Structure 1
Amino acid sequence: MKFNPYTSNLPVTDIIEELKTKLKNTNTLIVNAPPGAGKSTILPLVLLEESWLKGQKIIMLEPRRLAARSIATRLADLLGEKVGSRVGYRIRFDNCVSAATQLEVVTEGILTRMLQSDNALEGIGMIIFDEFHERSLFADVALALSREAQQILRPDLRIMIMSATLNMPKLKQLLNAPALVSEGRQYPVEIYYEGENDLKLLPELTSRIVSKAVKNHDGDILVFLPGEAEIKNTEVILRSKHKEIAIHPLYGQLPPQKQFAAIMPSREGRRKIILATSIAETSLTIEGVKVVVDCGFSRTLKFNANTGLSRFETVEITLDSADQRAGRAGRLGPGICYRMWTKATHNRLNKHRTPEIEEADLASLALEMAKWGVNDINKLTWLTLPPKGHVLQANELLEQLDAIEEGRITEHGKAIHSLPCHPRLAHMLLLAQHDDLTALACDIAAILEERDPLNRDAGIDINLRIEALRRYRTGSLKNKRLKHIAKISAQYQKMLNVKEDNSATDPFETGLLLAYAYPERIAHATPGNNAQFKLANGNIAAAGHEDDLAHEDWLSIASVNARDGVGRIFLASPLNPRDLAPMVKTIESISWDTKRGGFSAFEELRIGSIILQQKPLQNYDVERKIKAVSDAVKKEGGWLLDFNAEVEQWQNRIGSLKIWDKNHDWPDVSTNHLLTTNHEWLSPYLTVVKKPEDLKKIELKNVLQHHLSYELQQLLDKLAPERIEVPSGSNIKLKYGPNGEAPVLAVRLQEMFGLLETPTVNNGAIKVLLHLLSPGFKPMQVTDDLNSFWDNTYFEVKKELKARYPKHHWPDNPLKAEPLRGVKRKKS
């Protein structure tokens, strides 16, 4: 059947001819079209017959598996064919393609693997990035690799980026590519703002709004909620209220047949309520929806590079997400959207969602880069650069897993890359083969990749999950979640050529395998236990006091949250310490701990931060000691050193000259800079330091002064002297400010008799600010013009001084009077 796009009457038909023209003349194009415009279903099909394609395939990327399947099905329907003919899909552990397939809809990780196996992408003429505004991690990775392949090997390869909402100017500039805009024909959506929301009461509040929508409007209702827990709780409430309505959950972990049931029209013709996560924002077409209820929250996985852990956080949605969600109600006709927040809250929402690359665990990205042969990832085309800290942490993990060495991928790393899972789990699966534990490792990997199949009250022991999975496979246990987990385990078993094992598990074997995957989460009970464990990465985590594993000495932890203080363990297994022998290292620990008294040097047997044995180290590298103390000074700040008033004045003097005197290169002596660079100037004085008190004894001003060159020391004393001699013969301290303001000379008025001009610094360029004091050192006048003071103000001040200090001598002509250092009594 020949496809005629114009019969669809969808908005993107208006740009088809211009699209074809541009793709004849350029290899990269950006298409901006709102949800429902038809970009995902019309544009890929109209390009199949283009001459520049030369019989090659089109690959279209989707950010989600459900979207890939549903869009492939829709495209095949438009051609009057079954999926797997001219249109097919390929996702993790599932594909439906044939020799006749010309258009493959794939998830982004699939394209990355295709690029790694064939950098030139032979047989592929075009890559389409659909829904690129979702900014998934592997969309960014796939674009970076595709652009490099296009620029170096395949200038004929077409790349088309399709988006509903995105920073178009930035994308156009980055790719140096033209853009086409389809305005779309979105029906009007009436917005109702329902007031402030409360996450704790979300299911109850959402159910109330949904019931209101059921009563006031017809059509199916799409409800956006953060995650599975809120969906299930809301579902329970709604089922008790609306028995006549079909209620369907829709989230990523749901079995595929249930996901399709949610997006397809009801077979019985019943009205539907779809309770969905952000999975339903853009990629999916859900027929019959006229009303949207938006809770205003989404759940995102955020990675903490400091702990090496990721955790789900519930966050406010952004403006682009809110618009896309509301737009779901206006695809078929005028719609309604209930927003569970206020108009004021709406006005302060962020415009765009945070790209996943800024918040995700980048271990897989770093492995892709190593496999690609890229040492400097900044040389690739990134719409958002991967955070340096996350990349550094990812590379450290890959080195720990023996996947890379000196930045280059190892043979073991290539084997890890060949498996379609996180590098941690791939490493575990490969090492399990040496221990004849591959079947167990496959079960563990499948369980860790999916949601916990048991309730929280089952405890943290992952072996209970493995036992449940094996009982499910033998038919002695019913559990819907376990069905999906069993399928994934079977895929790994097939891949690794091992048969399933349903025998009883040895918990210590499970612990060993988890230690392979999460070496930094090997945990030892803290003294006194209290159900708390110290992890090899230095963190502390706790199990419930009544948990079966709470009193174990050693654990391998698979899942733990990253909250501050004491984390919470979710999944773990007992661990036999004898299995840890290959992981034990002898370390010379040379460190500084202020709270524990300062410097220490020990020889330690350790697993990460867990100390198994310790004895004092008599002979140690002094340079390592200096570095340890220096690092402590840098980290803990200036309070370890004696930054007294004299040091502060020395800093202000140089800081002032840095502003005043542009003829010389005065150093940055701000406290922050001095602490950061303390190793350069403080090192010679740290060899004898043992305690915090020793650091305080260091005469900081002298140390810093001697670190200046001889020339600058002389210039400092000349241009910004500490003291100035006044007519009385006194040498009085100047007080310098931090921002180059005039230094202050606080001096008793009587000591200045006979001086006509204001004293200066910086070779006469800067007048000092005189604080003229009474005999009792009280401020009487502030001036930077002493001559004017004698002429105009002195006589007024004199009256007050005579009244307050009648026994002192206050001459009528101060310029001819003798300056007084002490007290000269008035002649009686």
Structure 2
Amino acid sequence: MTSPVPSPLPIDDALPDLRAALARAGQAVLQAPPGAGKTTRVPLALLGQVTGRILMLEPRRLAARAAAERMAETLGEAVGQTVGYRIRGEAKVSRQTRIEVVTEGILTRMIQSDPELPGIGLVIFDEFHERSLNADLGLALCLEIRGALRDDLQLLVMSATLDAAPVAALMGDAPMITSQGRAFPVETRWLPRPPDASLRFEAAVAALVRQAVQETSGGILVFLPGEGEIRRVENLLQGLLGCTLRPLFGAMDFAAQRLALAPADQRKIVLATSIAETSLTIPDIRVVVDGGRARRARFDAPSGMSRLVTERVTRAEAEQRRGRAGRVAEGICYRLWTRGEEGGMQAFPPAEIEAADLTGLALELALWGASDLPFLTPPHPGVLAEARALLADLGALGPEGGITAHGRELAALPLHPRLGHMLLMAGPAAAPLAALLAERDPLRGTPPDLVARLKAIARPGADAHRATIERIRSEARRLAAQVKAPRLPDLSPAQMAALAYPDRIGLRRAGDAPRWVLSGGKGAAMAAGLPLSGARMIVATDLDGDLREAQVRQAVAISEAEVRALFADRIHWVDLCEWSRRDGKVLARRQERLGALVLADRPWPDAPPEAVARAALDGLRQLGLPWAAPARRLRARIRLVATDAWPDVSDEALLARAEDWLLPHLANRKTDADLRALDLTEALRNLLDWDQQQVLDRLAPAHFETPLGRRIPIDYDGDHPAIELRLQEMFGVKTHPTVGTNRLPLRITLLSPAQRPVQVTLDLPRFWASSYADVRKDMRGQYPRHPWPEDPTEADPTLRAKPRGT
């Protein structure tokens, strides 16, 4: 077969520099804009200087097949000779294959099977700007292999829009090669004003497509976030004169995807998700209509749930999409936003490692035996810890975090560890359920009954998505062939689901509403009136990820007997003594629990005093410390004389160490009334050692002893410690009393014989010498039987009055 002469592409000018960089450094980063031709040109250009095979990673199966077919066509060969591909469930390779295009997860399996990658001379990471989790892991593993096992292993990272400098730095300052320009120029057309807010997104996109049809010629590629939007826009464009509509999304079978790539008799309009952003050249496309939205998976570690969110595209994604219009000729890109809005768009999409479920990554790291790999974006420690906790729950990790034999089996399966665990435990009978849970819902829009979906796989009804059903059946057959006899035979579908989701077994909450508490501690709800809404227990296999109370999108009813049979080793009696905010008291119960589920509940009348005290302490932390007058005065005294060596008596500090000083005083205090009546004085004084207590009593005494020997409490609450007493009781006192290390004067309120204030002073000698004369003049007439000497400093203190008639 004669090889066709390839037409020139922009990447051709960069190839000599790329060859030289790889020959010199053994690794490189190639940055080439969309349409430059790097995917199909670079592997062929490097074939002559690489010893061994070239392995090129692609993020999607369709892109892997298309790239291999295009390179084979360039060589005038069939796929599987010099150029082949390997994707999940399909491979076209032979002994002659020198360039093997694979999806990213396959590289990880190859490395984990044989870390030296025998026979591989070069690994190419294509479209690395997509920052998939598998690509990040694959690069990290290859860098470690190159550093420890294979210094001859060559690495090449290729990207269209990624900032190449951080990748080059991660690779030890690898050479950076840049290809300038794209194949053909592309004109960008923005909206003159934002679309009408009342117009639905799909209607706005359809209107922009109609405009593009009128103003341009050639095929049109329309970017939409998902299949639902594609189908709705397709309906709106039905009957468009002279045009053929071709959907393109990841869940389609290969035949339908090929149809979207193939030439058409009429003008072609391809309605595609982000699957068409990279690696694919769609013949005859001259125009791009970008709806400006992308759908991403977001994982919430605390809830253990992933959810799909629709977001505005980033500038990098918009540029990538724009480049699709310039692959085969000059093109035009229509954008469903104004030019001014572009400045508010994010520069790059988040790396998948920042937003995805890391359970699979945690398993791969455990299998590799190290977690400190050179990641471009390191995984978040908290999210990784949650993933490891799930793996431990599934039996994939041991107590010390090392991988178990079961974990090694899980890693070998092409499934999420949850589903792999279910398949290994339940055997081939679980294969249809595993395939179903790994696929898109074949009965979208119907009630969330998992059993109905399993029935649809066996006998599809009118409401079933036939293509999805066929994919599930095919995958189920493949999975069934990979496992042996069940370790837990004769399980119901509900029990199988519970094996995969032990943290999502739901027990109905009190009340009529269909609401459940899940074994993992989160909440779930369902619309009333659905077939499962009356179930006491369920297994929720799909939730919307709402952080407050997730809505159930797919579930199966399960009986308590089934749960007990499956998780007998996890069900335990728990003694529970806790403070109930709602009841305002300590509740002591004995509960039979599976995670957060309470299967049985009974009183615990003989709860130990220490447990009651600790529960009461929780209540006290909610209510706050009860500062009765004696305790409040003691705290003020301590603050008056305290140094750095003394205990901190602020509320925050006292509550933080309450177990140390307060717990013994909470025995038998079970209600909020008991706690509010608590006198903290003794416990607070016991915080001080003996020497501190002596200093306290000397410098900040609790009482002032009058000349008559009476003990009057000192109020330390205000700016100055204060006392109140009869004026006559202070006769003969020539020095003002003070407290504290700084000799703070007491505020003395001097009272009349009728116990009414007549003078407040901070300087008693000065009062005697000045204001006392006026007070004496007023008081002698009102209280003639009481002594009012001219010189109070020489008089004897007294509380007595003169006898009547004297």
TM-score range, shorter chain: 0.7 to 0.9
1:690 pairs with 2:637: no
Name which of 382, 400, 419 aligns with 1:389. 382
Following TM superposition, by how much is the alpha carbon of 1:551 offset from its aligned partner in structure 2, in angstroms? Answer: 2.1
1:203 pairs with 2:202: yes
Q: Corresponding residue for 2:251?
A: 253
User: Aligned equivalents of 1:214 and 1:28: distance in 2?
Assistant: 45
Q: Corresponding residue for 1:786?
A: none
User: Aligned equivalents of 1:645 and 1:286: distance in 2?
Assistant: 83
Name which of 435, 445, 456 aligns with 1:468. 456
Following TM superposition, by how much is the alpha carbon of 1:170 offset from its aligned partner in structure 2, in angstroms? Answer: 3.0
Cα 1:819–1:404 change in 2 (3 A) is farther
Name which of 400, 409, 414 aligns with 2:408. 414
Name which of 139, 146, 151 aligns with 1:143. 139
Following TM superposition, by how much is the alpha carbon of 1:290 offset from its aligned partner in structure 2, in angstroms? Answer: 2.4
Query: SS at the partner of 1:412?
Result: helix
Following TM superposition, by how much is the alpha carbon of 1:650 offset from its aligned partner in structure 2, in angstroms? Answer: 12
- The answer to whether the Cα contact below 8 Å between 1:471 and 1:477 also exists between their aligned partners in 2 is no
User: Aligned equivalents of 1:24 and 1:453: distance in 2?
Assistant: 50
1:447 pairs with 2:450: no
User: Aligned equivalents of 1:295 and 1:8: distance in 2?
Assistant: 32
1:512 pairs with 2:486: no
Name which of 442, 445, 463 aligns with 1:456. 445
Q: Corresponding residue for 1:212?
A: 211
Q: Corresponding residue for 1:801?
A: none
Name which of 568, 574, 584 aligns with 1:588. 574
Following TM superposition, by how much is the alpha carbon of 1:527 offset from its aligned partner in structure 2, in angstroms? Answer: 3.4
Following TM superposition, by how much is the alpha carbon of 1:678 offset from its aligned partner in structure 2, in angstroms? Answer: 6.1
Q: Corresponding residue for 1:525?
A: 508
Following TM superposition, by how much is the alpha carbon of 1:195 offset from its aligned partner in structure 2, in angstroms? Answer: 1.0
Name which of 523, 530, 537 aligns with 2:520. 537
Cα 1:28–1:715 change in 2 (3 A) is farther
1:159 pairs with 2:155: yes
Alignment length, in residue pairs? Answer: 736
Name which of 538, 541, 544 aligns with 1:558. 541
Following TM superposition, by how much is the alpha carbon of 1:208 offset from its aligned partner in structure 2, in angstroms? Answer: 1.0
Cα 1:720–1:233 change in 2 (3 A) is farther
Query: SS at the partner of 1:595?
Result: coil
1:481 pairs with 2:468: yes
User: Aligned equivalents of 1:199 and 1:158: distance in 2?
Assistant: 54
Q: Corresponding residue for 2:373?
A: 380
User: Aligned equivalents of 2:640 and 2:414: distance in 1?
Assistant: 61
- The answer to whether the Cα contact below 8 Å between 2:244 and 2:264 also exists between their aligned partners in 1 is no
Name which of 339, 345, 350 aligns with 1:349. 345
Give the letter aligned to residue 263 of structure 2. Answer: S
User: Aligned equivalents of 2:770 and 2:13: distance in 1?
Assistant: 95
Per-residue CA deviations over 1:579-637 (Å, capped at 9, x if unaligned) read 2224241232425342243433322222222212112335557776677677x58xx97
Name which of 595, 599, 616 aligns with 2:603. 616
Cα 1:678–1:472 change in 2 (3 A) is same
Per-residue CA deviations over 1:417-455 (Å, capped at 9, x if unaligned) read 22110111111111113xxxx23x111111111112124
Cα 1:276–1:827 change in 2 (3 A) is farther
| 5+ long unaligned stretches in structure 2 | 703-712, 723-739, 745-757, 779-806
Cα 1:605–1:206 change in 2 (3 A) is same
Name which of 471, 477, 481 aligns with 1:494. 481
Query: SS at the partner of 2:48?
Result: coil
- The answer to whether the Cα contact below 8 Å between 1:808 and 1:826 also exists between their aligned partners in 2 is no
Q: Corresponding residue for 1:14?
A: 13
Give the letter aligned to residue 192 of structure 1. Answer: W
User: Aligned equivalents of 1:91 and 1:456: distance in 2?
Assistant: 31
Per-residue CA deviations over 1:403-430 (Å, capped at 9, x if unaligned) read 1111111122222222110111111111
| 5+ long unaligned stretches in structure 1 | 500-505, 723-729, 736-743, 748-760, 769-806, 810-814
Could you tell me the percent identity over the aligned residues?
36
User: Aligned equivalents of 1:808 and 1:668: distance in 2?
Assistant: 36
Q: Corresponding residue for 1:403?
A: 396
Give the letter aligned to residue 449 of structure 1. Answer: A
Q: Corresponding residue for 1:77?
A: 73
Cα 1:545–1:476 change in 2 (3 A) is closer
Q: Corresponding residue for 1:428?
A: 422
Per-residue CA deviations over 1:47-86 (Å, capped at 9, x if unaligned) read 2221xx3x32222111222211111222222222222112
Following TM superposition, by how much is the alpha carbon of 1:135 offset from its aligned partner in structure 2, in angstroms? Answer: 1.2
**Counterpart mapping for 1:229-378 below 5 A:** 229-240=228-239, 242-262=240-260, 264-268=261-265, 270-374=266-370, 377=371
User: Aligned equivalents of 1:116 and 1:667: distance in 2?
Assistant: 57
Give the letter aligned to residue 592 of structure 2. Answer: L
1:63 pairs with 2:79: no
Cα 1:682–1:468 change in 2 (3 A) is same
Following TM superposition, by how much is the alpha carbon of 1:335 offset from its aligned partner in structure 2, in angstroms? Answer: 2.9
Query: SS at the partner of 1:341?
Result: strand
Cα 1:656–1:745 change in 2 (3 A) is closer
Give the letter aligned to residue 601 of structure 1. Answer: A
- The answer to whether the Cα contact below 8 Å between 1:586 and 1:603 also exists between their aligned partners in 2 is no
Cα 1:562–1:695 change in 2 (3 A) is farther
Query: SS at the partner of 2:482?
Result: helix
- The answer to whether the Cα contact below 8 Å between 2:3 and 2:73 also exists between their aligned partners in 1 is no
Per-residue CA deviations over 1:745-787 (Å, capped at 9, x if unaligned) read 999xxxxxxxxxxxxx9999xxx9xxxxxxxxxxxxxxxxxxx
1:126 pairs with 2:125: no
User: Aligned equivalents of 1:326 and 1:651: distance in 2?
Assistant: 71
User: Aligned equivalents of 2:431 and 2:116: distance in 1?
Assistant: 33
User: Aligned equivalents of 1:607 and 1:391: distance in 2?
Assistant: 24
- The answer to whether the Cα contact below 8 Å between 2:190 and 2:334 also exists between their aligned partners in 1 is yes
- The answer to whether the Cα contact below 8 Å between 1:525 and 1:554 also exists between their aligned partners in 2 is yes
**Counterpart mapping for 1:615-654 below 5 A:** 615-618=602-605, 640-641=624-625
User: Aligned equivalents of 1:209 and 1:11: distance in 2?
Assistant: 31
User: Aligned equivalents of 2:359 and 2:320: distance in 1?
Assistant: 31
Per-residue CA deviations over 1:499-542 (Å, capped at 9, x if unaligned) read 9xxxxxx9x81111111111122223333443333322233323
User: Aligned equivalents of 2:651 and 2:375: distance in 1?
Assistant: 37
User: Aligned equivalents of 1:650 and 1:35: distance in 2?
Assistant: 76
Rg larger for: 2
- The answer to whether the Cα contact below 8 Å between 2:631 and 2:679 also exists between their aligned partners in 1 is no
User: Aligned equivalents of 2:85 and 2:624: distance in 1?
Assistant: 63
Q: More deviation in 302-311 or 183-192?
A: 183-192
- The answer to whether the Cα contact below 8 Å between 1:588 and 1:601 also exists between their aligned partners in 2 is no
Scaled by the length of structure 2, what TM-score is found? Answer: 0.79
User: Aligned equivalents of 1:81 and 1:713: distance in 2?
Assistant: 96
Give the letter aligned to residue 304 of structure 1. Answer: D
User: Aligned equivalents of 1:15 and 1:666: distance in 2?
Assistant: 73
